[in-house]
Structure formats: structure tokens, C-alpha cells
């Protein structure tokens, strides 16, 4: 009996969690223009409409530029921070690492408003680059968390052994460190890319007249007739996010296997 | 034993500070060409720091390290004629066994086929000839150890540094590898410097041992000297088991030291039996358990050097029996080990026992 109650609870939980998201593809393929049951016929028109919307294409290109740049910057910063945090002891280390990780829990609205104020005070125009900066700020803690796992799984004496066998610090990094943390790097790139692609608040505050995909979506909600198109776009974004996360997790596990380690839970 | 081999490593007044912590306090030693040299001590005594300083992974604060006559000040680990076997073995997990072993040849001028031959020879030397293609993470502990050895020896270093290489192995495997390491060292003729906290391991494998406490070398000697003539009570306690009996130094005449040992009686010692020096007055006499012998009915000790007491503890090991015997007129029991042989009865708890002792086995700690 107890088991059944738990099972029902779990199923209910999943339904509440995913049912709204399941509505997206339902209406994306529904031929009615009004978002309401009963469903009418099947159509691909809304997906086709996506292709004829130049503003959407611009927003997509913007989002991709931002997400790719953010992924690269955050991962590089994360690489430095994670290596320093796992390899060296220095005064104030715990405090420094804590402050670097803080944006993880800082309300994004606060971050976004602060960044906007700084930009305005400096007399700079907001735009793509300022969103990249904001996204890098919130993604770097994720990159550090993932990469710290990779570095702490790696035996410190591996690097010393390579140097002992005649390699320079740089070739040691290339031949030993990089291959062993590369699954972590790939996972970090993918997760930062996904976070940046989906992020709304910072992009909304800082995008100026160059909207990102989520900002564009938000703008479209004002036009009821565009709702089914938004549903279609939403469907694509959800599938893309899930696919990227699965790939990221796959790489993380492959990395563990390569290093001959047992999975201890990991980031996801 | 005097040092006859030409030195390959010369340590002169080596000091190391970590902030306020004084990790190495003036280490001076010569390590000979082709010698199997051990740094033995409890954890935190500085032995690993000293090994890492020789390898170049730690800078020294003062003093000098010469390797093959060259000052190593400011020389990076990758430029030193040393290679290291790490405690964790540090086998590169993303490479095959052969790639691991051949890693150090990456920058050598050898042709591909020469490198392959060298890797093959190195693997054969450690008994892993058929394992070249195996993935590194699929190896057992003993195999990893061998790969680490082959990888370090392929560069023909002047000195091989081993950081507790056997501590991760189980007892049986450890004993097998001890013998293999000795054979290997004899074969390649390279100087080995071994760090260990296991006194038995050091005694079994080394030509000479430096016993370290708190950043200093307490005694540097060959295993037999270290065991028979420890120069301090601390070294004696660290190496094997030793009984300490209260004694009084009564005088030193014509190269003989007269002592009165509590529970045993008067004894005459040679100066060599006091490697830590002699001072008149209260002292202690060290005696290994195997240099005390139980006397059975009808047996008598040579020169009447006999003592009696009561059996306080019997520990039977099969080949040996250990007794704790409280000698009459002494406060604490002494440990006696007897080989179990036909005709030798194992005494029981509470039995009276007679012991023979030999002054030649005594060490005096003033």
C-alpha cells in the first residue's frame, strides 16, 4: 500500500512537471489558431511560418553568437579557476572560490539591473557583447562546478610524472591534463551553451534592439495570432536543450570511464 | 661500513622551510653510484620532501644538491637525470601500457622502430612483455607498479627515485615485488633511492639506510649496523623490537666499558657497542628479543651469564614463540623470542624461566 501511494505521488509529480511542456508540441502541430481544446487538424504550417520570419532568424543568429561565445569564455575561465582551486592552496582560497560561485544563487534580475546600471554609467550601449558578458558571469560557476569535478578526479602526480619524464609544463597540459579533463570541457561547453540559449532576464534587460530568441518569443506573445508559431519554436528549443544535456552527460560519463573511475553522481 | 662507491648524489646541509615549518633540518649525505639507498622514517619526518627535492619538485631553502657532480639549483625536474616512481604509480589512464612506457621517449631522437624495441625491452625487463596493447586502467596493482618502473627506467636515469612504491600492494604482492626490485636494481645497476616507512622493507632491500626523524638523519648505516648498533633509543625502537633495561655505567678502562645491568648483572662492553657515546651514570642497555635465550633443564649459560624470572605472556606464532618474562628484581618484563624446534617445549604462563644473555649483543644508550 505504502509503495503504491509513493508510486502515485511520483507519477503525479512528473505529470505536473511535464504536462505543461507537453502542451507545446500538441499545439505546435494543431491547425487551429486559438490555443484551446479540442484539438483540430494536424499541420506543419507553424513550423513553415518560422522559416518566413526574418526577425526570428536574426534573433536566432544573435542567440547562437551569444551562446557560443558564452560557452567558450565561461569554460576557459572555469578551466583556470577549477585548476587553481583543485591544485593550489593560497590564502583566502575558500572566500575567493565562494564569491566566484555566488552568481549561481544570485537573483538574475539583480545581476541584470546592476549590469544595466554599470553600462549606463559608463555611457555604453547595450547589445550582443553585453549579453555575452552577463551570460559569462552566470555560466562561469556552472563551468567551474563541472570542471572542478574533472580536476579532482585526476591524480595530481600524473602531471608531475609527465614533467619527470621530460615534458614541459605546457606539453604536459596538452598531453595529459587536457585529454583527461576534455570530457568535462565538452560537458561545460554544452551546458553553458544551453543556459545562455535559454536565458531570458539578462538578455531582456541588455538586448537593446538586438533581441535574442527568448526575448523575441516574449515579444511575440503580444500577438495572439502568433501563439501557435511560438509553440512551434518552443518545441524546437525544448528538444534542443534536452538533446544538448544528454550529450553533455554522455561525455561526462565517458570521461569517468576513460579515467577508470566509478560514477559518484556527478553534476546532473 | 665505509662508503667506497663514487657518489652520484651529494646532499650538503639541505634545509627546507614551509613557512614556519622546518621540514628538512640540514641533511648531509653521499649516495653512491649503483647503490640501493633508503630513506626510512615515520610519516612527517621529511623523507618524501627530501626525495621530491632531489627530483626537483620541491625547491630547497638552503644547502646544495649535486647530481652526478652538477649543482641542481634552479634545474627543473624535466632536466634532471632522475626519474620517479610515484606512490600512486601515476599511470596515464588514457594511454595503453606501451604508450605509458614509451612516454619519456617522445622527445628522443630514436626512430619509431628503435622506440618500439626499447619499449619492448623495458616491458620484458619487468615481466610484462605481452601487455603492451593493454589499456592502462585495466591493470592490477602489481602490474601498474611494473609499468611505472618500466616507464621510469626506459630513460636510463642516473638515479631512480621511488616514493613508497610498495605501500599500495597487499602483503604477499609486496614481498614478491621487494625481491623483484632488488633483482632489477642489480641488473640495471642504476642508483635507487627508496622512501619507505616500513623498516622491514628497508632492511630487506637496501645497501644503506638513512633513518630520519623530524627533518634530520638520525643514523645512516647499512642494515646490519642499523639493526645491531642503533645509535639512539629512538632508532632502536623504530627498527625491529628491542628490550631496554636500566643500567649503570661504572667506568671505562682500556677500551672496555663496565656496566651493571638491572636483572642481569655486570657486563663488559666494547666501545662499538655504544655508538651514541658513553657517559658515566644511569643508562640503558638495549637487547633484541632473539639475543636472549631460554635455558631448559640441564642447560647452563656460558660464563654463568644467567638470569631468572617468571613467564608473563606467551605468544605462539608457529615458527616462533614470543615470551614476556619478568626478570627477578626488575620493574618491567623483557621480550624473548625462541625458534620452535624439536625438543623445545613451549613454556606456560606463570612458569619459572631461566635466561642466558650475551654481552656482545648489547647496545648501550647513555
Collapse the DSSP code of B247 into the 3-class scheme (helix H, G, I; strand E, B; otherwise coil) and give the result: strand
* pLDDT per position as a tens digit, B289-311: 999 999 988 888 887 788 999 99
Interface test with A, best of B48, B93, B134, B150 (most A CBs within 10 A): B93
B155 and A160 within 8 Å at the Cβ level: the answer is no
A155 touches chain B (CB under 8 A): yes
Write the CA distances from A149 to A170, A188, A258, B95, integer angstroms.
Answer: 22, 11, 14, 21
C-alpha cell at B338: 625462541
- How close does chain B come to A83, measured CA to CA in Å? 18
Interface test mutation site (partner B, options A155, A159, A161, max chain B beta carbons within 10 A): A161
Non-local CB neighbours of B232 within 8 Å, separated by 6+ positions: B218, B219, B276, B365
Give the minimum alpha-carbon distance from B106 to chain A in angstroms, rounded to a whole number: 9
Strands B352-357 and B292-295: antiparallel
| Chain A residue closest in CA terms to B96 | A258
- Measured between CA atoms, the residue of chain B closest to residue A160 is B57
pLDDT tens digits along A126-165: 778 888 988 999 899 999 988 988 888 888 899 999 999 9
Rounded (10°) CA dihedral A226, A112, A186, A268: -80
Q: Is B239 on the interface with A (CB under 8 A)?
A: no
For chain B, list the domains and their CATH numbers.
Answer: 7-234 (3.40.50.300), 241-365 (2.40.50.140)
> Which residues of chain B are under the pLDDT cut of 70?
1-4
How far, CA to CA in Å, does B296 sit from each of B301, B307, B320, B352? Answer: 10, 13, 16, 11
The neighbour count for residue B247, using CB atoms within 10 Å, is 24
The Cβ of residue B331 has, within 10 Å, a number of other Cβ atoms equal to: 9
- Give chain B's length: 366
**Domain A54-258, architecture per CATH:** Orthogonal Bundle (1.10)
* Total residues found in chain A within this entry: 268
Q: In angstroms, what separates the C-alpha of A258 from chain B's closest C-alpha?
A: 6
Interface contact A160-B137, CB threshold 8 A:
no
Compute and round to an integer the Cα radius of gyration of chain B: 25
Query: What is residue A258's predicted lDDT score, i.e. its pLDDT?
Result: 65
Res. A1: pLDDT tops 70: no
Domain-wise residue ranges, chain A: 54-258
Asked whether the beta carbons of B246 and B229 are under 8 A apart, the reply is: no
Q: What angle do CA A55, A56, A57 make, to 5 degrees?
A: 90
Backbone φ, ψ for residue B70 (5° rounding): -105, 135
Q: Is the pLDDT of residue A5 over 60?
A: yes
Q: Which helix (H) or strand (E) holds A61?
A: helix A54-87
For residues B124 and B98, what is the distance between their CA atoms, to the nearest angstrom? 11
Phi, psi (5° rounding) for residue B246?
A: -60, 140
Model confidence at A268, pLDDT cuts 50, 70, 90, reads very low
Q: Which residue has the cell 628490550?
A: B243
B152: which chain A residues are within 8 Å (Cβ-Cβ)? 164-165
Which of these, B184, B167, B1, B200, lies nearest to B86 by C-alpha position?
Answer: B167
DSSP 3-state of B93? coil
Q: Is B244 on the interface with A (CB under 8 A)?
A: no
DSSP string, A228-251: HHHHHHHHHHHHHHHHHHHHHHHH
Nearest CA in chain B to A177: B92
Chain-chain contact of A165 with B83 (C-beta, under 8 angstroms): yes
pLDDT for position B206: 95
CB atoms within 10 A of CB B263: 23
DSSP string, A142-210: HHHHHHHHHHHTS-HHHHHHHHHTT--HHHHIIIIIHHHHHHHHHHHHHHHHHHHHH--HHHHHH-TTS
Check CB contact of B109 with chain A, cutoff 8 Å.
no
CA distances from B75 to A172, B87, B207, B316 (A): 17, 23, 28, 55
Question: Mind listing the pLDDT tens digit for each residue in A62-85?
Answer: 999 999 999 999 999 999 899 888
Q: Is A157's CB within 8 Å of B87's CB?
A: yes
Q: Which helix (H) or strand (E) holds B307?
A: strand B306-316
Strands B159-163 and B82-85: parallel
Tell me phi and psi for residue B282, to 5 degrees.
-65, 140
Residues of B in contact with A164 (CB under 8 A): 55, 77-78, 82-84, 152
Helix, strand and coil percent figures for chain A, each rounded to 5: 80, 0, 20
Contact list in A for residue B151 (CB cut-off 8 A) is: 161, 165
pLDDT of residue A93: 82
Percentage of chain A lying above the pLDDT 90 cut: 21
Helix (H, G, I), strand (E, B) or coil at B248: strand
- CA A52 to the chain's CA centroid: 28
b/e per residue, A242-255, with b = 16+ CB within 10 A? Answer: eebeeebbebbeeb
Cα separations in angstroms, A128 against A117, A195, A200, A208, A209 = 16, 16, 13, 9, 10
Residue A2 banded pLDDT, cuts 50, 70, 90: low
**Residue A99: all three cell numbers together:** 564569491
DSSP secondary structure letter of residue B285: E
CB–CB of B93 and A260 under 8 A? Answer: yes
More confident residue, B152 or A244: B152
Quote the CA–CA distance of B313 and B335 in Å, as a whole number: 9
Q: Does A92 touch chain B (CB under 8 A)?
A: no
The C-alpha angle with vertex A106 and arms to A100 and A107, in degrees rounded to 5, equals 155
Instruction: Locate B315 and state its grid cell.
Output: 605468544
User: Which of A144, A143, A145, A174 has the alpha carbon at shortest distance from A159?
Assistant: A174
Q: Closest approach of chain A CAs to the CA of B84, in angstroms?
A: 7
Are residues B83 and A164, on separate chains, in Cβ contact within 8 Å? yes
Interface test with B, best of A164, A168, A185 (most B CBs within 10 A): A164
Interface check B86 vs A, CB under 8 A: yes
Interface test with B, best of A166, A183, A255 (most B CBs within 10 A): A166
Residue from A97, A87, A92, A199 nearest A141 by CA: A97
User: Which of B 254-313 lie inside 8 A of A, CB atoms?
Assistant: none
Dist. CA A75–CA A70, nearest whole Å: 8
The residue ranking higher by pLDDT, A246 or B84, is B84
Amino acid at each position: 500500500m505504502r509503495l503504491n501511494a509513493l508510486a502515485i505521488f511520483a507519477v503525479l509529480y512528473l505529470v505536473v512537471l511535464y504536462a505543461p511542456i507537453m502542451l507545446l508540441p500538441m499545439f505546435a502541430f494543431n491547425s487551429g489558431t486559438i490555443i484551446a481544446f479540442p484539438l483540430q487538424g494536424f499541420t506543419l504550417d507553424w513550423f513553415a511560418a518560422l522559416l518566413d520570419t526574418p526577425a526570428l532568424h536574426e534573433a536566432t543568429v544573435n542567440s547562437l553568437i551569444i551562446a557560443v561565445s558564452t560557452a567558450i569564455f565561461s569554460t576557459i575561465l572555469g578551466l583556470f579557476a577549477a585548476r587553481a582551486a583543485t591544485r593550489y592552496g593560497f590564502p583566502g582560497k575558500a572566500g575567493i572560490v565562494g564569491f566566484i560561485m555566488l552568481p549561481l544563487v544570485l537573483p538574475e534580475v539583480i545581476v541584470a539591473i546592476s549590469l544595466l546600471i554599470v553600462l549606463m554609467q559608463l555611457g555604453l550601449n547595450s547589445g550582443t557583447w553585453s549579453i555575452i558578458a552577463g551570460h559569462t558571469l552566470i555560466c562561469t560557476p556552472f563551468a567551474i562546478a563541472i570542471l572542478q569535478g574533472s580536476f579532482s578526479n585526476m591524480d595530481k602526480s600524473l602531471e608531475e610524472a609527465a614533467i619527470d619524464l621530460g615534458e614541459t609544463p605546457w606539453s604536459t597540459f596538452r598531453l595529459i591534463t587536457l585529454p583527461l579533463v576534455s570530457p568535462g570541457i565538452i560537458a561545460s561547453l554544452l551546458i553553458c551553451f544551453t543556459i545562455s540559449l535559454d536565458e531570458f532576464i539578462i538578455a531582456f534587460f541588455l538586448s537593446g534592439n538586438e533581441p535574442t530568441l527568448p526575448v523575441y518569443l516574449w515579444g511575440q506573445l503580444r500577438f495572439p495570432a502568433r501563439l501557435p508559431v511560438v509553440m512551434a519554436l518552443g518545441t524546437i528549443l525544448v528538444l534542443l536543450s534536452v538533446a544538448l544535456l544528454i550529450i553533455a552527460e554522455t561525455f561526462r560519463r565517458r570521461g569517468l570511464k576513460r579515467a577508470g573511475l566509478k560514477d559518484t553522481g556527478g553534476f546532473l | 661500513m665505509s662508503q667506497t662507491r663514487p657518489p652520484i648524489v651529494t646532499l650538503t646541509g639541505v634545509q627546507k622551510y614551509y613557512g614556519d615549518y622546518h621540514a628538512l633540518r640540514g641533511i648531509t649525505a653521499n649516495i653512491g653510484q649503483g647503490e640501493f639507498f633508503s630513506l626510512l622514517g615515520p610519516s612527517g619526518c621529511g623523507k618524501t620532501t627530501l626525495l621530491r627535492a632531489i627530483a626537483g619538485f620541491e625547491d630547497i631553502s638552503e644547502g646544495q644538491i649535486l647530481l652526478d657532480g652538477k649543482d641542481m639549483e634552479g634545474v627543473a625536474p624535466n632536466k634532471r637525470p632522475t626519474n620517479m616512481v610515484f606512490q600512486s604509480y601515476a599511470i596515464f589512464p588514457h594511454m595503453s601500457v606501451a604508450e605509458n612506457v614509451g612516454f619519456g621517449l617522445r622527445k628522443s631522437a630514436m626512430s619509431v622502430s628503435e622506440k618500439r624495441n626499447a619499449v619492448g625491452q623495458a616491458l620484458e625487463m619487468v615481466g610484462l612483455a605481452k601487455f603492451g596493447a593493454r589499456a592502462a586502467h585495466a591493470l592490477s596493482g602489481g602490474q601498474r607498479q611494473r609499468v611505472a618502473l618500466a616507464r621510469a627506467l626506459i630513460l636510463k636515469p642516473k638515479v631512480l627515485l621511488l616514493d613508497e612504491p610498495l605501500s599500495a600492494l597487499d602483503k604477499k604482492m609486496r614481498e614478491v615485488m621487494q625481491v623483484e626490485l632488488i633483482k632489477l636494481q642489480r641488473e640495471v645497476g642504476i642508483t635507487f633511492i627508496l622512501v619507505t616507512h616500513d623498516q622491514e622493507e628497508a632492511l630487506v632491500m637496501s645497501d644503506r639506510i638513512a633513518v630520519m626523524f623530524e627533518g634530520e638523519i638520525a643514523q645512516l648505516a647499512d642494515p646490519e649496523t642499523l639493526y645491531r648498533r642503533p645509535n639512539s633509543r629512538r632508532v632502536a625502537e623504530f627498527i625491529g623490537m628491542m628490550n631496554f633495561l636500566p643500567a649503570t655505567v661504572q667506568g671505562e678502562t682500556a677500551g672496555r666499558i663496565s656496566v651493571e645491568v638491572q636483572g642481569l648483572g655486570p657486563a663488559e662492553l666494547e666501545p662499538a657497542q655504544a655508538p651514541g657515546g658513553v657517559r658515566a651514570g644511569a643508562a640503558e642497555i638495549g637487547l633484541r628479543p632473539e639475543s636472549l635465550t631460554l635455558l631448559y633443564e640441564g642447560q647452563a649459560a656460558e660464563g654463568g651469564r644467567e638470569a631468572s624470572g617468571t613467564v608473563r605472556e606467551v605468544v605462539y606464532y608457529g615458527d616462533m614463540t614470543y615470551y614476556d618474562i619478568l626478570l627477578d628484581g626488575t620493574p618491567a618484563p623483557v621480550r624473548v623470542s625462541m625458534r620452535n624446534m624439536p625438543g623445545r617445549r613451549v613454556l606456560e604462563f606463570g612458569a619459572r624461566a631461566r635466561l642466558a644473555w650475551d654481552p656482545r649483543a648489547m647496545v648501550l644508550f647513555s
